[in-house]
Amino acid sequence: MKEFTSKSVGALTLATGIAGTLAVITLILFFVSLFQDISSLSFMGTLNDTINGLSGILSAVLASTLHPALRRVAGRLSLTLLIGVWLGATAIGFGSWLIISGGSDVEQSSYYYFFGNGLIGIWIWVLNRTAREHAVWTASLTRLGWIASGFMMVGLLGLVGILSGSDGGEYSPLIMINGISYLGIAILYPIWGILLGRWILSKRGKTQ
């Protein structure tokens, strides 16, 4: 299970956490531009969607990096999880493309975003359970990972919005329920990534 504390995993989790944090910052700045009518910040919306797509890709690359180690303990389930993460990253990227290209309104693109991150959340849950069972990460980190993934998986409800083709009001009941997952996606998951990445890299630094 040395892969769980490898330098590449530490760097990827840190990068994923930083990307998630930047996504939140750009979204806040976009709303500032919207409500304060600051045209110079209007590009933050597109930047936010781009970073969201990047975050999904980083999660998928991280899953691919850890796949050999996870396969040894989870067997065939690990491949299913890996496919799920890449499908999730694809859904996030597609949702970003929809809103950037004007192919949909905010509601429909958000369903892809929430659903994609929900799929990633399943993998995060199994990953942290495995890390806890083999004591490769600290208990506090795996606990935070569990909590983050729990909120993220609420986003799986976004599939209902995708299949129904809903793209009306930005504040429909369904999207508000899906919005609960944002606490995991945008806050807890990035925090987990940054803390885990720093812990792995500092641990490796002490052993060298």
- How many separate domains does the chain show? 1
User: 34 or 158: which carries more pLDDT confidence?
Assistant: 158
Contact (CB, 8 A) for 2 and 68: no
- Looking at residue 126, its amino acid is V
pLDDT of residue 113: 96
Cα–Cα distances (Å) from 96 to 2, 84, 197, in that order, read: 35, 18, 26
The model's confidence at residue 102, banded by pLDDT at 50, 70 and 90, is confident
Contact (CB, 8 A) for 36 and 79: no
pLDDT per residue as tens digits for the range 174-202? 888 999 999 999 999 999 999 999 999 99
Task: Look at residues 81, 187, 74 and name the one whose alpha carbon lies nearest to residue 124.
Answer: 81
User: 53 or 102: which carries more pLDDT confidence?
Assistant: 53
The model's confidence at residue 206, banded by pLDDT at 50, 70 and 90, is low
pLDDT of residue 105: 83
Cα–Cα distances (Å) from 73 to 58, 102, 178, in that order, read: 23, 44, 32
pLDDT of residue 74: 85
pLDDT of residue 171: 67
User: 35 or 95: which carries more pLDDT confidence?
Assistant: 95
Cα three-residue angle 21-26-27, rounded to 5 degrees: 95
Distance in angstroms (rounded) separating the CA atoms of residues 59 and 124: 9
pLDDT per residue as tens digits for the range 54-86? 999 999 999 999 999 999 998 889 999 999 999
The pair of structure tokens assigned to 106 is: 């905010």
The model's confidence at residue 165, banded by pLDDT at 50, 70 and 90, is confident
Axis-axis angle for helices 76-101, 44-74 (nearest 10):
170
For the CA atoms of 82, 87, 90, 96, what is the dihedral angle to 10 degrees? -120
Q: Give the range of the structural domain holding residue 55, as residue numbers without chain letter.
A: 2-207
